Every structure is written in C-alpha cells, then in structure tokens.
Amino acid sequence: MLDLPHRPRRNRKSAAVRGLVRETRLSPENFIYPLFLSGNAQDEDIASMPGCKRWSTAGLLEEIGRAVTVGVKAVVLFPRIPDALKTRDAAEAFNPEGLVPETIRAIKAAHPDVAVITDVALDPYNSDGHDGLVSYDGHILNDETVAVLCRQALAHAAAGADIVSPSDMMDGRVAAIREALDDEGYSGVSILSYTAKYASACYGPFRGALDSAPRAGDKKTYQMDPANVREAIRETIQDETEGADMVMVKPAGMYLDVIRAVRETTALPVAAYQVSGEYLMIKSAAAAGWLDEKKIILESLTAIRRAGADMILTYFAPQAAAWLREES
C-alpha cells in the first residue's frame, strides 16, 4: 500500500459526498433567456439558429410562460426590425410605440414578476447594420451615438423595462444613460453593461436571426480585440465608475479567463453571454451524435459559473433549467 496522507478521491466517493464538496452550483435563477421577436403574426424558425424562433408577441408570451414554469425569471429581448423602418439615424430605436416598448408592456401585463432586460444598441434599427451611427466617410460616431442610446434606454424604461443593457461598446454610454434615466425619474431602472464585448466570430448566427450584419466594414473599432484581457479590466473599472449595476463578458466559453479577471476586479455582479456561435457549436455536435447534448450543455454552463459569472445569458435557459429541476 502507498503511504498517502492525502487521498483526494475520498471526496469523490459517492454522489452524496460529491454534492457536499461541490464548489459551484447551477440554478435556473442564474439564467437569462435571450428571445428574438418579430411582431409578425406567426412564429418563425431561424435558419441560422436551429431550435430558436423569432416569436410573434403571442408566441413570445407563451414561451416566457414555459420558461417561468421551469424557474427561469429573466429574459432579454432582441427585435427584428423590418427593412422599411431601418434608417441612417436609427430613429426607430427610440419610438415609444416601437416593437420593443410594446412587447415590454405585453410581458409586464402577462408576467409581471419576470425581469425584463432590453438590448441598447442601434444595429437592428440602423440601415448600416452598426451598433452606432455611421458618418458619411464610414466612421462610427461615438458621442452622437450615445445621445441616441439615451433616448432608446428612456423608451425602454418608460415601457417598464427592469434593466437596460447597452451592448454597443461606445465610450461613456453608461454614465450618460444613468444620468438620462435619473433625470427622467427612472432611478430604479438598472444598467447591465456589456463591459467586455469582443469582436468575435461567434455572433454570425445571431446577425442572421435579426438580419443585422454590418453592411460595410466590421465592428473592430468598438468591440474588443480577442487578444486582450487587461483592456477588459480597464473597461470594468470605467463601467463601475460610471454607475453600472452589473457588468458582462461576451462571449463566455472561450473567454473564461476574462470572466475570472473581471470577477476579481469588481464586487459588482458579473454576467456572461453564451452567444449564438457557442450555442450552434454545441447544437451541431449534439445533432451529429458526436457529443451528449445534456452533459455538454450543463458542463459548459457550470464552467462559466466556475470562472466567476453570477448569471448567464443562454439560449439553453429553459432546457437547462428543466434538466436541473429533474435532477434536484
């Protein structure tokens, strides 16, 4: 026999003991469910994201009801805006009767306890497909964009949004949105900032779902370089100073070190977004029979929590929540 003072396997000897020593827990309460909406009469399949739908308003309310049944209590909304409403000034983004404000009101009427989070960025509304306004010579205009984002956030707050979530990566938008909300009496509306959002190849399927890909150029002058992590710390400090209530890292699974760095930089809650490309990599491997779908989904979400995320935006939210319920 080996003379071993430590036998770590003793702490793994049964499910009961493993449960006692488990360091990270995954719960439906950690999930935020991203939902696509069209305002059309029928729910539509999304070619670039099999298993996800662009919901009609009625379909969306039913889907939220199903998610609530398995314990998911937070949603984030992404609208598909008809081409006819897309303009260079993205004015539809702050239409108080637009698709997002109307949908917020419908959700609040049907599911008052669900936390409604909205995306604040111009790409679904902008004929250029960028998150910001584009100048005639092709630059993304920072300060002019921030003024529009403030109006967009106010339209969402007025409709009843609990949390507004700027995903545009313009400088200074958290402070400006905070001030705009406070000035108009919405001091109770929270800001979940996309603090470290990378210029990632993982967003392609999402842009297909919303028809929101940039018409020209890429997003590298505002989204972060995938090579950088110190820059995420700098963004975190800045967003906290500007008044963010929660910070986000995006994507999640390939950026676990960034989640950890952000976690160690701030005491604010940290979110991570398991984005469309991550969803599809898992879905397609599972559909081919190459990976066990349930195991890989729960492992991927556990890893994101272990890295330091309090909450996870994931298209798997209702499915993962249902599995977690069966197991508990």
Residues 37, 117: Cα–Cα separation, whole Å: 14
Residues 278, 256: Cα–Cα separation, whole Å: 13
Nearer to ligand PBG among residue 9 and residue 165 (C-beta): 165
Find how far residue 260's CA is from the centre of its chain: 18
DSSP 8-state symbol, 215: S
Q: Is 312 in the site for ligand PBG (CB under 6 A)?
A: no
Residues 79, 34: Cα–Cα separation, whole Å: 11
Site string for ligand PBG, 94-123 (x = CB under 6 A): -------------------------x-x-x
Nearer to ligand PBG among residue 69 and residue 284 (C-beta): 284
Residue 293's Cβ-count burial label (10 Å; 0-12, 13-18, 19+) is: middle
Nearer to ligand PBG among residue 121 and residue 140 (C-beta): 121
Give the list of residues 6+ apart from residue 259 with CB closer than 8 angstroms, or none. 249, 252, 270, 272, 304, 307, 308, 309
Give the list of residues 6+ apart from residue 276 with CB closer than 8 angstroms, or none. 48, 49, 202, 203, 204, 205, 206, 209, 315
Q: How far is the CB of 217 from ligand PBG (least distance, A)?
A: 12
Site string for ligand PBG, 184-203 (x = CB under 6 A): ------------------xx
Nearer to ligand PBG among residue 196 and residue 275 (C-beta): 275
Residues 208, 276: Cα–Cα separation, whole Å: 10
Residue choice 275, 297, 307, 309 for contact with ligand PBG (CB under 6 A):
275
Residues 120, 244: Cα–Cα separation, whole Å: 14
In angstroms, what CA-CA distances link 227 with 65, 196, 255, 303?
40, 12, 10, 21
Q: Is 206 in the site for ligand PBG (CB under 6 A)?
A: yes
DSSP 8-state symbol, 137: T
Residue choice 54, 59, 94, 131 for contact with ligand PBG (CB under 6 A):
131
SS3 42: coil
140: left (phi over 0), alpha (psi -120 to 50) or beta: beta
DSSP 8-state symbol, 82: P
Residue choice 195, 276, 300, 314 for contact with ligand PBG (CB under 6 A):
276
Q: Is 55 in the site for ligand PBG (CB under 6 A)?
A: no
Nearer to ligand PBG among residue 92 and residue 123 (C-beta): 123
Residue with tokens 């990566």: 169
Nearer to ligand PBG among residue 219 and residue 305 (C-beta): 219
In angstroms, what CA-CA distances link 14 with 21, 26, 138, 158, 306?
11, 19, 61, 52, 21
Residue choice 111, 207, 294, 306 for contact with ligand PBG (CB under 6 A):
207
Q: How far is the CB of 274 from ligand PBG (least distance, A)?
A: 8
Applying the rule CB under 6 A, the residues between 217 and 256 that interact with ligand PBG are: 219
Residue choice 126, 167, 190, 193 for contact with ligand PBG (CB under 6 A):
167
Q: How far is the CB of 124 from ligand PBG (least distance, A)?
A: 8
Nearer to ligand PBG among residue 186 and residue 206 (C-beta): 206
Site string for ligand PBG, 7-36 (x = CB under 6 A): ------------------------------
Q: Which residues are catalytic?
A: 197, 250
Q: How far is the CB of 166 from ligand PBG (least distance, A)?
A: 9
Applying CB under 6 A, the residues found at the interface with ligand PBG are 119, 121, 123, 131, 167, 202-203, 206-207, 219, 275-276
